[in-house]
């Protein structure tokens, strides 16, 4: 259903949501889309199960815990920062090319065709990148751990007036934050 809504609003495949301007899958867009989907699906499942229960409950009444909100915010921040780094680098390259002093050899990667999931673990030159791989692995690990927690939570869903979605473990949050920082530092330095 979520995919159908996306297609309705976007008017094309959902893959277009995570494609970058270079027609390759964007790591930061992928990560932001994954966490947004997990958050919305968890929230929606919780509200739906509460409404379908035999006990009268208040519509809504589902809180998003602080670490989950922070993790989702980190994904959005990483996307915005990565976009800013890339835009600044592209602008710098255009200015250098216009002045007749190119910044270096052209990129060897052919961005003509998107390739999932390899685009998520390759650098701009089409080589495997440990930093990108680490960011994707940590993201997927965090998502799996969180989805298991949500599954358990939904199995014993409290029907009180207010409930809170499960929170993200602080170790996962810290690892996630470090991965984001390393990715952005690598992206800034490599540009």
Residue 6 has pLDDT above 60, yes or no: no
144-181: pLDDT as tens digits: 999 999 999 999 887 777 889 999 888 888 888 888 88
84-127: pLDDT as tens digits: 887 787 777 777 777 766 655 545 445 557 778 888 888 777 88
Length of the chain as a residue count:
191
Cβ neighbours for 180, distance < 8 A, ≥ 6 positions apart: 74, 75, 77, 78, 135
Rounded (5°) CA angle 32-63-152: 80
Residue 40 has pLDDT above 80, yes or no: yes
Span 15-28, average pLDDT: 78
Residue 34 has pLDDT above 80, yes or no: yes
Q: Which two tokens stand for residue 156?
A: 């014993």
Distance (Å, rounded) from C-alpha 105 to C-alpha 90? 14
């Amino acid at each position: 259903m979520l995919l159908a809504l996306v297609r309705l609003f976007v008017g094309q495949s959902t893959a277009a949501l995570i494609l970058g301007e270079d027609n390759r899958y964007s790591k930061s867009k992928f990560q932001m889309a994954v966490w947004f989907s997990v958050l919305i699906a968890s929230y929606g499942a919780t509200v739906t199960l509460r409404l379908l229960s035999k006990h009268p409950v208040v519509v809504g009444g589902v809180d998003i815990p602080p670490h989950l909100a922070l993790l989702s915010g980190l994904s959005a921040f990483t996307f915005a920062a990565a976009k800013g780094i890339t835009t600044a680098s592209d602008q710098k390259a255009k200015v250098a090319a216009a002045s007749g002093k190119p910044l270096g050899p052209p990129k060897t990667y052919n961005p003509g065709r998107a390739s999932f999931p390899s685009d998520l673990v390759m650098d701009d030159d089409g080589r495997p990148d440990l930093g990108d791989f680490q960011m994707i692995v940590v993201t997927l690990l965090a998502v799996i751990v969180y989805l298991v927690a949500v599954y358990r939570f939904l199995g014993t869903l409290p029907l009180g007036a207010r409930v809170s979605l499960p929170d993200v473990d602080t170790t996962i949050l810290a690892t996630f934050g470090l991965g984001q920082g390393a990715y952005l530092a690598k992206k800034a330095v490599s540009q």
